[in-house]
Amino acid sequence: MAIEKKVPNKKRIFKGEVVSVNKQKTIVVKVDSYKTNSKYLKRFVVTKKYKIHDEKNEYKVGDVVNFIECRPLSKEKRWTVLYK
């Protein structure tokens, strides 16, 4: 019988690809989102990078991860990995 973590409704969850694992317990993940130009209705990709806390150091470049908001862990880290 597995216990699932309940996620509060107010916290944001994103899915992205790992692009860097150079620091201890930190990975950098890029998230692509699509936006539309209001005048020409052309779609374009907006990419944003997030620094995420990875306590177990188990992810490598190219892995796809889900991550959630958390309290500030350092100057730039406000996200943590959702483990299954």
pLDDT exceeds cutoff 60 at 2: no
pTM, full prediction: 0.82
pLDDT in tens, 6-40: 655 688 999 999 999 999 999 999 999 999 999 99
Structural domains of the chain, with CATH: 13-81 (2.40.50.140)
pLDDT value of position 84: 63
pLDDT value of position 34: 95
Select from 18, 37, 34 the least CA-distant residue to 79. 18
Count the residues in the chain: 84
pLDDT exceeds cutoff 60 at 51: yes
pLDDT exceeds cutoff 50 at 69: yes
Query: Which amino acid belongs to residue 65?
Result: V
How buried is 31 (Cβ within 10 angstroms: 0-12 exposed, 13-18 middle, 19+ buried)? middle
pLDDT value of position 83: 79
